[in-house]
Chains A and B, each alone.
Chain A
Amino acid sequence: MTLTPSDRVAETPPSGIRRFFELAEEMDDVISLGVGEPDFSAPWAAREAAITSLERGQTSYTANRGKRELREAIAEDARRWNLEYDPDEEVLVTAGASEAIDVAFRALVNPGDTVAVAQPCYVSYRPGVRFAGGEVLDVPTRVEDEFKLTPEVLYEAGADEADLLVYCYPNNPTGATMDRLELAAVAEFCREHDVAVLSDEIYADLTYEGDHVSIAEFDGMRERTVVFNGFSKAYAMTGLRLGYAMAPSEVVAAMNRVHQYTMLSAPTTAQYAAIEALRNCREEVAEMRAQYDRRRNFVLSRFEEMGIDCFEATGAFYVFPACPGEDAEAFAEDLLEAEGVAMVPGTAFGAGAEGHLRASYATGLDELKEAMNRLERFVA
């Protein structure tokens, strides 16, 4: 036979971001607010630990589940969010949280299973479900609910019939967060309808108002939840590709079976950096969060001055303004061509995102100022 993509791959559309990325790449003098990664570098101590590990020749595979020292540090860190996991049985270290999510889909989804995907969301969830043979159930959240998941939204979408629910709070692309009371309602829904949860908490440390809460802390939720996190966002370690999942032992064992046949183990150098990051880099994380918070204030204030409705993001490093034009894709393209400012049309992030744009403030303040000035000129 000739080499042809499988039906699952062929039927999966390319990322909505991809097309916009190609447009932006062709242009000069672009200020990009389309970047979903920190503009900081990883804390120096973490980088130094990675360098030292290389100097010592620590370049072999680690245990499939990840270095025990790292799993212990992860389990210890999770206590900040009232989560208790056994580092030996209930933690899996992966090549980025993205791998952890993919592995979870493949380990937990049977062909034909329904996975409710809360949207707008990170671009990989829906294709990930399809690659695993599952059926995606779109659960659009609404701006009037501040893009939060509610039992009403879940019922309306038919998620009471779903096998799994996947979501991300603090949210990419909206910057929405969920507080304890709101998550308790979702937890009750999931218990009542026997829905398992994949909770992507990669932005947990970038929560600006109130504390981050994990759904796994609620009664009866730990056994039906996989929590994902990683080092890309809070520790600015995107390129080191290191994430993890925490779940009951039988779930981690199943995920590890997929992981060991694909990745074997997460990058060793990155694991050394991560151990140092968890143990000694909390101050740097706090400093980066403080800077993001100021930039968040800045962009929200500028949108208000321009008369552009903008949902008041309380987490991650994105804001999700209403598009001043009728068609967000056309607006984003025109803005890019006219002023060289890249903001991603919300439609790239699935249902519920229509009429919005995602602007990342993970970029220097000078550039943010200039981007906002250009946007103001464009919409004037």
Chain B
Amino acid sequence: MDHAEELLELLCEDARHSTADLARLTGLSADEVEAKIAELEADGVIQGYTAIVDWDAVGDERVQAHVECNVTLDRETSYRDVAKRLAGFPEVQGLRLVSGDYDFALEVEGDSMREVSRFISDKVAPLPEITQTVTHYIMETYKQGGYRFDDGGDDDRLSVTP
């Protein structure tokens, strides 16, 4: 595994690793780590840093939905064109073109079900290329970004073993 890949793995595990810790973990110098990360950011490999939050745990009432969208394209319009319009909405947190029964998978977030529903019916569905939307509200999140929300992480190993 090259150093770039190793750094990316470590940052995916925990984007808050300090430069010093990344250097210790990889055997690179702190300067090398900083340079490599700067390069990855400049190249657009690293697109951003974010936290994985269990909003239920802080009593936040935000609503998330997974929306399936079907589109019909014409000669002048590509998937990329439709994606550009959809991605422009701040309510859209995630957007992927997928294979299968529908074309786009949207992750939509709002403060209430009413707000999310309005967004779908007023902003998404009326787009000329959109032929159908199916909205699935997220009832509970058990795992996100590789983190299990229900995992207490209790270590029941004996404190000292051979």
Contacts and interface: CB of A to CB of B under 8 A. Distances in A.
A32 B160 contact: yes
Nearest to A305: B24
Interface string A207-225: 0000000000000000000
Interface string A18-40: 00110011000010101111010
B162 A172 contact: yes
Interface in B135-162: 155, 157-162
Contacts of A298: 21, 24-25
A342 B160 contact: yes
A77 to B, nearest CB: 23
Residue picked from A24, A35, A344, most chain B C-beta under 10 Å: A35
A280 interface: no
B83 to A, nearest CB: 33
Interface in B34-59: none
Contact of A24 (B25, B27, B155, B159): B159
A24 B160 CA distance: 8
Interface string B4-26: 00100010001000000101111
B161 A34 contact: yes
Given A290-B1, A294-B10, A365-B14, A36 B162 contact: yes
Contact of A123 (B14, B157, B162): B162
A122 interface: yes
Nearest to A15: B162
A295 B10 CA distance: 11
Contacts of A122: 162
A191 interface: no
Nearest to B14: A365
Given A294-B26, A298-B25, A25 B159 contact: yes
A298 B21 CA distance: 7
Contacts of A301: 23-24, 27
Interface string A329-372: 00000000000001010000000000000000001010001000
Given A290-B1, A365-B14, A344 B25 contact: no
B159 A30 contact: yes
A302 B24 contact: yes
Contacts of A36: 161-162
Contact of B160 (A35, A363, A369): A35
A363 to B, nearest CB: 8
A17 B1 CA distance: 37
Interface of A: 15, 17, 20-21, 24-25, 30, 32, 34-37, 39, 122-124, 172, 290, 294-295, 297-298, 301-302, 342, 344, 363, 365, 369
Given A290-B1, A301-B27, 15 more contacts: A20-B160, A24-B159, A24-B160, A32-B159, A34-B159, A36-B161, A39-B155, A123-B162, A124-B162, A294-B25, A297-B24, A297-B27, A298-B21, A298-B25, A301-B23
19 contacts: A15-B162, A20-B160, A21-B161, A32-B160, A34-B159, A34-B160, A35-B160, A36-B162, A37-B157, A37-B161, A123-B162, A124-B162, A172-B162, A295-B25, A297-B26, A297-B27, A301-B23, A342-B159, A344-B160
